[in-house]
Chains A and B, each alone.
Chain A
């Protein structure tokens, strides 16, 4: 239903569907909005639960710079970003 609304009204998906919006600045900064939960956190791997599965971030010296209800900012040497359904 929500997907249909977003397609029909031409609204951005992250507004209507609660899917994550991911913004990456260079390789050292990653901003994710609309996440659900932190599943795993270590300096080499970070797993975030999102609406359609799990987001896996791999890298080195990872840390969570800021985290709040709607978003999270991750900093570190990001090497891999993967969607796991």
Chain B
């Protein structure tokens, strides 16, 4: 056998005779499969014979004096014969296949994606020069690597170019170079400036690139005091000097004080690992709760909600599923010794200050000024000695 019976063809026959049961037995004895035997009346049966055994079945039928009539022919061989008779239909099929093949061997669309600054027209023009355009034979397209290389050579703003063919579409992906933002506050030239103190501090270090320093190391300066003058010449006579503008850094030592209070009992959230997932459908902004859902067996929970919307192509449909993951959690209490609390408080204060200083400053020294245990809390007063850039720019007002 091998192939299913339909591929080889089947014949449905009406058998009329006195010895139909005998016919069935003898056919089966001959090793022929019979299918779908239906009783019509006492001397008539309908049955299906595989086409390959049709003639041996006919001879058995003759011997039993059973008359046969073909009711139906099914399967590929009969279909093929039908096809041969319908030339126009066959021609149509052939034409269709030919047309599909020939049409799909052209480029129908050139798609350029990923470009924001490079104009599409420009890329298209470049592609046309390479031989990539709408209507081009797909077989005549140059190698992807060649195109990628050439395009990259002609597009200085692109850092990568991809070329691929998807069916009848040509897709060119361009990754543009990210240029650093030029309009940064620090880089903008505000004109000639003085450097003045941002806050009260003691000068720790002076790094003047341009300008006339008016303070010395270890000098205490007040907020708003001019640190580096943008005017060369006699500082006593500021109107007569040459205005050049100041540039540089003034590192000052600044004192900070911070108050921290650390509770001696630390409470923390901990997940127990028990979790339940719940799915419920939603329509517009309404969640339809499942009425048969079991109750969540946890006392304290935290819910992580994920929304799965249905999409039809690009469009988000106004319904979908809401997946709630319910995690059991509990509070864990931890008692701290006063020493540990002080350590923790110091650490927190330090981190906080470091964040305020940013990358420019650093902490030189820290000292606990004051420490008191009160109402289950440790109150700390910490002194920090930090250095940071205290210079801020102030434009020199001319013509005053």
Contacts and interface: CB of A to CB of B under 8 A. Distances in A.
Interface of A: 37-43, 62-69
B10 to A, nearest CB: 12
A39 B24 CA distance: 10
Contact of B29 (A39, A65, A69): A69
Given A42-B39, A43-B39, A66 B33 contact: yes
Contact of A40 (B21, B31, B35, B36): B21
Interface in B20-68: 20-21, 24-25, 28-29, 31-39, 42, 45
B34 A67 contact: yes
Contact of B21 (A41, A43, A62, A66): A41
A15 to B, nearest CB: 21
B39 A63 contact: yes
A67 B39 contact: no
Contact of A65 (B21, B25, B36, B39): B36
Contacts of B29: 69
Nearest to B25: A37
A68 B28 CA distance: 5
Contacts of A63: 36-39
Contacts of A69: 28-29, 31
19 contacts: A38-B25, A39-B21, A41-B21, A41-B37, A41-B45, A62-B39, A63-B37, A63-B38, A64-B37, A65-B35, A66-B34, A66-B35, A67-B24, A67-B33, A67-B34, A68-B28, A68-B31, A68-B32, A69-B28
A85 B145 CA distance: 83
A65 B48 CA distance: 10
A56 B166 CA distance: 65
Contacts of B35: 65-67
Chain A interface main SS type: strand
Nearest to A74: B37
B31 A38 contact: no
A18 to B, nearest CB: 16
B17 to A, nearest CB: 13
A38 B47 CA distance: 15
Given A38-B21, A39-B21, A41-B21, A67 B38 contact: no
Nearest to A49: B25
Nearest to B37: A64
A16 B25 CA distance: 23
A6 B179 CA distance: 87
A68 B42 CA distance: 22
A43 B34 CA distance: 17
Nearest to A35: B28
Given A39-B21, A40-B21, A41-B21, A68 B36 contact: no
Contacts of A68: 28, 31-34
B28 A67 contact: yes
Nearest to B32: A68
Closest 6 CB pairs of A and B: A64-B37, A68-B33, A67-B34, A43-B39, A63-B38, A37-B25
Contacts of B21: 38-41
A20 B21 CA distance: 20
B33 A41 contact: no
A37 B21 CA distance: 9
Contacts of B33: 66-68
Given A37-B25, A63-B38, A65-B35, 14 more contacts: A41-B20, A41-B24, A41-B37, A42-B42, A43-B39, A63-B39, A64-B36, A66-B34, A67-B24, A67-B28, A67-B37, A68-B28, A68-B31, A68-B32
A65 to B, nearest CB: 6
A34 to B, nearest CB: 13
Nearest to B41: A42
B396 to A, nearest CB: 101
Contacts of A42: 39, 42
A65 B39 CA distance: 12
Contacts of B42: 42
